[in-house]
Structure 1
Amino acid sequence: MENRLPKIFELVCQNKRELTVREFATQFGVSTRTVYSDVKKLNELLETGGYPMIQADKGKLHYAEPLTIEFESLLASTSDFVLTNQRIRRLRIVETILLAGDQFTVEDLLKVLDISRNTLIADLKEIKEMLAIHSIAMESTPFKGYRVIAKELNIRNLLILSVSEDPLFFENRPFNDLEIIKKCEAFLDDVSGRLSVELSDVSFHRMLAAFWVTYARISMGKVFPEGPKDPLTREEITFLQKRKELASIFETEVSLDDCFYLANKLTEASVVKYEELLSEQWLPFHLVTNQFIEAVTKEYPFEAFVTDTKLYEGLLNHLRPAYKRALSEEWAENPLLDYVRENFSQLNDAVSKGVMLVEDKLKVHFNEHEVSYFTLLFASVIERNEKQVRRTPNVIIVCNAGISTSEILKSRLEAMFHVNILGTFSLRNAALWLMEHVPDFIVSTVPFKWKDIQVLKVSPFLSDYDIREIQNQLSFLTARIHLGDVMGIIRKYADIKEEQIPALKKELSLYLGFSEKTEPRKGIYQPMLKEILTTDLIQAKFSAGSRDEAVRESGRLLVEKGLADEAYIEAMLKNVEVNGTYIVIAPGIAMPHARPEEGALGIGLSIVTLKEPVVFGHPKNDPVKIVVGLCAIDHQSHLKALTELADILMDEKKVEEIINADSQQEIMKIIKGES
């Protein structure tokens, strides 16, 4: 890091060379993400010195005019930046306090921080209150200075937050610290690869801060008390496997709890890519994500929410770290919060209402920053769909006050909104016209209703309230050009041979700028449990000699029913091997499954009760007595049936009845609630 900044400064700012981020990454032997981080730090220095910042556009770095100053002169402005910027100065004081040990004096801080005593005393008063918010007490003791009293967890969390928000924290650190950061970066890349996750840039650098803070606190002799803990999460298992490597980087012993602390920080990190490897809460997350989408769609009707696969996967990916942050009372600040409030206020309100369902199910609370992240995921669906070619909405005016009033209203509507006024009508004529035509919505100055078409009652001169209502209607309106509608119009006036239709559709798609795939789809049909679970998908009192035999039997029932092929059983077994204990979703209940593309042919659930319980390897939920085989053709269509079954399996009495049942018919009666 120390050598990269001067080199980037020399090549880009002094020589004005246009180089790509990838070229720098190759030259320095680092990731492109690290180069972007370096540019951000360099821009902090440039901004502090009053110079233009480096622009990054499509992977290329640009600078306006060559600078004649040397990098050392630019770096000298860092101390001025820290001193004059109150927020950064106080971050430095917090960092110094928490890295000083349990006790410190004002003189200790003055030796490190080049500020006046009065400024320091004033800052300490504010910092004491801020520390209290993070459950850290700063008590003054006569003749000894100050004493810090807090749990190690709270100190580390605040240090990570402070270091992450201090843009130039590592610039003046000793060389050894920078080497440790470099090794931690490689370590984190390896861990992310093993877990098949891709962290966001912000999360990646926050994790590097967590590594350094852990190293710094261990070096001070501050470690978590080591105690017994089952490695339940994938992250904990991975860190445990790499514990010796981590100790080599830190050049000291790393306790189990220090490993688990870093593993937990990784579970709180936001990801941009997450391959479907199961977590300890995978089933509740899947079920609640589907319910969340439905709840938001009720509040903000937008057809594509329920069919957009990227939305479902995006919410699922974000939900786990958001849930982990909520549990540990951490939170990720969203820099786009104000943007969300200003540009997606209605959608954000709908998401805020919908997220209450998630909070209730998972027993956590999400603050407005987390909610706004969810809103952005829903907003991205709207953006993706808005890229389709839109047509001008068709509107009619119903008015009984005469032609002059209706013409004024028509003129105002055309001037203020992008709409196509098909005509102005009296009540009677509107009804006759509507018998043969279908506008997108109706604007009326009198009470009027017509079938399923939205009617907005307004004053003839359009009040502010009326204007807002029309704007809202237009924002909800999905008046887009659909290829099917275009073909329907053409067929009314032209005879087209059947073999010509595909070529015509293709040419129209190219001309209009969209394909048939972008046309809105109907909501995904989710069958109920009674529609997919039959007696031939149930096996009672099966004698399984091992975990694999139990899993194979649940898969056999699906295959014989034609819901999966043989390859799906092998994929189920592999998934159990890879995802281990996560398959056991509750005490005595396992739910093996595989990905849709690994041989699923339909939506299916099988139930196998075991004559003798089988150990699956879960430290708490073993042994398994019920095996539920699951197959699905996508991520959503099976969720209604799965939700119903999950509700049944949460009932301890029914679970006991199912375990004790002697036949599939008896189990089916219990499932149906007939016993």
Structure 2
Amino acid sequence: MNNRARDIVLLFIENDHFFTVHALTQHFSVSQRTIYNDLMDIDAFLAEYDLPSLLRQKRNGIKLQLRKSDQKKLKDLLDQEELGVYSPEERKNAALHYMLTRHEYVTIDQVSNFLKVSRNTVINDMKQWKLWLQDQSLSLTSYPYKGLKIEGTELAMRKALLTIYKNEKRERVQITSVEQSILNEFLSVEEINHLTRMVRKAEDDLQIIISDHSYFRVILHLGLAITRVKMRRTLNDEAISASVLETREYEVACIIQKEIERAFSIVFPENEVMYFASQLVSSSLQGAKQYGNTNDQWLPLQMVTRTFVEKLETVFHMSFMEDAQLFNGLMAHLRPAIYRLKNDTHIENPVLNAIKENYQYVHHQVMQTIPVIETQLDVNFNEHEASFITMYVTAAIERQKKKIRRKPVVIIVCDTGMSTSQMLATQLKNLFHIRVLGAFPARQAAEIVQQEFIDLVITTVSIEIKGTEVINVNPVLSKEDIQKLALLLEKFEGQELLVLDILQIIEPYCTVLNSLELRNKLQQYFQHDATKTRQLERRANPVLIEVLNENLIITQSDVQDRDSAVKLSGELLLKNDLIKRDYIEAMVNNVHENGTYIVIAPGIAMPHARPEYGAKEIGFSIVTLKDPIAFGHRTNDPVRIVIGFCAIDHETHLTALSELVGVLNQEEKLTAILNAESSKEIMDIFQKEEKQ
């Protein structure tokens, strides 16, 4: 019988009246299912010692039905029951958890009864509890004739509760093992399933895949928010930064708000919607190209990523700018990281110590270089957040060492996001002849194995997949991990198989005169140490005046609506053979589907689409508007200047884009552009800037 079941028995003994299940769930802040399980344990305990079972009456509830002699016997049994002894740290977590989930004041006697310790122990422990609460921006106050009460903001209380869950080693929500989940303490299985569907819907609407760790964290925060709302403990107006209102996540959270209210029969206030959105924004993504519909900060992030990567090149004397995986990975990671840092949302990197031990030099150089990001985005990186950046850089360094080899097909499964999976993937590729098909959250692994031919699943979390070999490793490979993998991969490896694969591709399309000799030649080629991945020459980055001319500028246009303005900027790119016509439609669709993030600053919109929709060259067009047009942006409307934009990769447009942004950031020059009556006037402004 657990401690809570023991407390229920003591409650029955001390109060000779009926308790409803609902009253017990409110008193202990757990779900009905948890109470029902505890009542079953109590009945089993009573039966074991030949005591009458609990009395249940349909309309009244539940109570003990014991004579005084049986009550004494039961108390003696409870005293003898081996329930374990709390350590001081466990007492702190249990006591604060108990007080944070109470509506009313709590007396010292109640806390001592809850912990099964003396009043003096509670009084002595309270000194440490108060210090801990101060670190959480909370206070523990004693009121005469009332009792103890934890005071502070609701947001601080939620953060404290979640920290306590973590300290109790119950932070991660195992949706597949509901009995062991934190959520099961305050929500039913059906309610947890509702939450799971809602977060999956958010993923679908945003077109992203959240890492397992963030996925469970979002569900936990949302579940806690719903529970607190039920307790009439809601966030105040200043709890969440208003910046979240500009995100696509907020739009999605507003849609899901109605489902929350319907499923849980509550009114889910605006501040709680913002709280839910903030958890989505701060979530790590699973794939390096997983921008989805969450790219509202794309322009400043491109600029700062470029500056950071260029600084890394000077530090490590390596060419990183052409590494799209590094650039896109940093772009996707920085957005949630910056939001977390600005909004005091802390996450830990579980492999920080391993990174510092195994990649000490790289980590030190990243810590020295990261002020480039801090200065431009006005944030301060802690070491945990910085270590995720180290993982991306380490992966990029490792990628430069790789050679063409025969590679069995594997997938990586991890729960902490793409920084971990990217670093693990590059370690694996450098050490073994493998082809990493991708990194996936644990909940999708079985589905991927069914869809693709996979030789091996390499995972950092415990999973089982029927019919496919699975090996569990550390994110930073240990010697034992490497030895295990080496033995396991031997049966998949072999240069001969690679050659046979190539021959199977070639033979349907040509006549092979001597297949044996061809096979031997291919074998020699792929075994040669000098055979390496061929690097493309680094493309020169043009400056702005090389990609902008008078034919790409229209002044004082009289278009009347947003879509027409976007199309006009695209038509200029098309007329100058910089894009295909499909690109214009993609520009318009991008605004419809992803929102108004293209309004990058007050009065300035920069519509664009992905390169694959028909970008042929780097290009910019400029359309100034005679009359301002509302694009639908909450703070940056109305728009006076529309800048059409097309790029062919992640990097070659950055110099020109940086110069353009530099001019637009100068109020005097921006005013001159808006007032210009001819395209020549605008070009003169940029040409003069280039000469300065």
| Deviation of the 1:592 alpha carbon | 0.1
> Is 1:196 aligned to residue 200 of structure 2?
no
* Aligned mates of 2:684, 2:83 — CA distance in 1: 73
Alignment match, 1:263? 277
Q: Deviations over 1:435-489 (max 9, x none)?
A: xxxxxxxxxxxxxxxxxxxxxxxxxxxxxxxxxxxxxxxxxxxxxxxxxxxxxxx
Partner SS for 1:582: coil
* Aligned mates of 2:351, 2:366 — CA distance in 1: 16
Alignment match, 1:423? none
Task: Write the letter of the residue equivalent to 1:238.
Answer: V
Alignment match, 1:632? 647
> Is 1:128 aligned to residue 130 of structure 2?
yes
* Aligned mates of 1:375, 1:94 — CA distance in 2: 36
Alignment match, 2:222? 211
Alignment match, 2:265? 251
> Is 1:645 aligned to residue 647 of structure 2?
no
> Is 1:606 aligned to residue 613 of structure 2?
no
Q: Do the aligned partners of 1:82 and 1:89 also contact (CA within 8 Å) in 2?
A: no
* Aligned mates of 1:82, 1:350 — CA distance in 2: 48
* Aligned mates of 1:102, 1:302 — CA distance in 2: 62
Q: Structure 1's 318 and 514: CA in aligned 2 closer, same or farther, altered over 3 A?
A: farther
> Is 1:577 aligned to residue 592 of structure 2?
yes
Structure 2 matches for 1:403-482, cutoff 5 A? none
Task: Write the letter of the residue equivalent to 2:154.
Answer: E
| Deviation of the 1:203 alpha carbon | 1.2
* Aligned mates of 1:539, 1:505 — CA distance in 2: 60
* Aligned mates of 1:319, 1:152 — CA distance in 2: 28
Q: Structure 1's 311 and 102: CA in aligned 2 closer, same or farther, altered over 3 A?
A: farther
> Is 1:382 aligned to residue 393 of structure 2?
no
Task: Write the letter of the residue equivalent to 1:196.
Answer: Q
Q: Do the aligned partners of 2:627 and 2:640 also contact (CA within 8 Å) in 1?
A: yes
Alignment match, 1:108? 110
Q: Do the aligned partners of 1:389 and 1:514 also contact (CA within 8 Å) in 2?
A: no
Alignment match, 1:285? 301
Task: Write the letter of the residue equivalent to 2:560.
Answer: G
Q: Deviations over 1:12-38 (max 9, x none)?
A: xxxxxxxxxxxxxxxxxxxxxxxxxxx
Gaps spanning 5+ residues in structure 1: where?
A: 1-78, 391-499
Task: Write the letter of the residue equivalent to 1:526.
Answer: N
Q: Do the aligned partners of 1:591 and 1:629 also contact (CA within 8 Å) in 2?
A: yes
Partner SS for 1:138: strand
* Aligned mates of 1:532, 1:150 — CA distance in 2: 56
| Deviation of the 1:520 alpha carbon | 4.0
Q: Structure 1's 627 and 278: CA in aligned 2 closer, same or farther, altered over 3 A?
A: farther
Q: Give the TM-score normalised by the residue count of structure 1.
A: 0.67
| Deviation of the 1:624 alpha carbon | 0.7
| Deviation of the 1:250 alpha carbon | 2.8
Alignment match, 2:436? none
> Is 1:221 aligned to residue 232 of structure 2?
yes
Partner SS for 1:167: coil
Q: Deviations over 1:272-298 (max 9, x none)?
A: 132442433221112111111111222
Match of 2:574 among 559, 581, 587: 559
* Aligned mates of 2:342, 2:258 — CA distance in 1: 29
Q: Give the TM-score normalised by the residue count of structure 2.
A: 0.65
Partner SS for 1:609: strand
* Aligned mates of 1:509, 1:206 — CA distance in 2: 49
* Aligned mates of 1:289, 1:111 — CA distance in 2: 56
Q: Do the aligned partners of 1:83 and 1:115 also contact (CA within 8 Å) in 2?
A: no
* Aligned mates of 1:181, 1:620 — CA distance in 2: 36
Q: Deviations over 1:156-204 (max 9, x none)?
A: 2222333345334774855844432232112111111211121212112
Match of 1:232 among 240, 246, 253: 246
Task: Write the letter of the residue equivalent to 2:656.
Answer: A
Match of 2:313 among 297, 307, 330: 297
Q: Deviations over 1:106-132 (max 9, x none)?
A: 333334444555554444322321221
Q: Deviations over 1:42-97 (max 9, x none)?
A: xxxxxxxxxxxxxxxxxxxxxxxxxxxxxxxxxxxxx9998556655533333222
Q: Do the aligned partners of 2:140 and 2:148 also contact (CA within 8 Å) in 1?
A: yes
| Deviation of the 1:593 alpha carbon | 0.1
Task: Write the letter of the residue equivalent to 1:380.
Answer: A
Alignment match, 1:547? 562
Q: Structure 1's 543 and 134: CA in aligned 2 closer, same or farther, altered over 3 A?
A: same
More displaced stretch, 379-388 vs 610-619: 379-388
* Aligned mates of 1:153, 1:291 — CA distance in 2: 35
* Aligned mates of 1:530, 1:268 — CA distance in 2: 38
* Aligned mates of 1:609, 1:541 — CA distance in 2: 5
Alignment match, 1:452? none
> Is 1:181 aligned to residue 181 of structure 2?
no
Task: Write the letter of the residue equivalent to 1:236.
Answer: Y
Partner SS for 2:395: helix
Aligned residues: 488
Q: Deviations over 1:211-232 (max 9, x none)?
A: 2221221122111246997942
* Aligned mates of 2:113, 2:189 — CA distance in 1: 23
More displaced stretch, 546-555 vs 502-511: 502-511
* Aligned mates of 2:543, 2:142 — CA distance in 1: 64
* Aligned mates of 1:253, 1:383 — CA distance in 2: 51
| Deviation of the 1:540 alpha carbon | 1.1
Q: Structure 1's 86 and 250: CA in aligned 2 closer, same or farther, altered over 3 A?
A: farther
* Aligned mates of 1:508, 1:553 — CA distance in 2: 56
Task: Write the letter of the residue equivalent to 1:127.
Answer: W
Q: Structure 1's 131 and 569: CA in aligned 2 closer, same or farther, altered over 3 A?
A: same
| Deviation of the 1:558 alpha carbon | 0.9
Q: Do the aligned partners of 2:142 and 2:148 also contact (CA within 8 Å) in 1?
A: yes
Partner SS for 1:217: helix
Q: Do the aligned partners of 1:296 and 1:353 also contact (CA within 8 Å) in 2?
A: no
> Is 1:327 aligned to residue 342 of structure 2?
yes
Q: Structure 1's 81 and 284: CA in aligned 2 closer, same or farther, altered over 3 A?
A: farther
Gaps spanning 5+ residues in structure 2: where?
A: 1-80, 172-178, 406-513
Q: Structure 1's 148 and 84: CA in aligned 2 closer, same or farther, altered over 3 A?
A: closer
Aligned-pair identity (%)? 35
Q: Do the aligned partners of 2:154 and 2:236 also contact (CA within 8 Å) in 1?
A: no
Task: Write the letter of the residue equivalent to 2:380.
Answer: H
* Aligned mates of 1:189, 1:100 — CA distance in 2: 32
Task: Write the letter of the residue equivalent to 1:318.
Answer: H
More displaced stretch, 542-551 vs 219-228: 219-228
Partner SS for 2:286: strand
| Deviation of the 1:630 alpha carbon | 0.5
Partner SS for 2:641: strand
Q: Do the aligned partners of 2:321 and 2:651 also contact (CA within 8 Å) in 1?
A: no
Q: Structure 1's 583 and 122: CA in aligned 2 closer, same or farther, altered over 3 A?
A: same
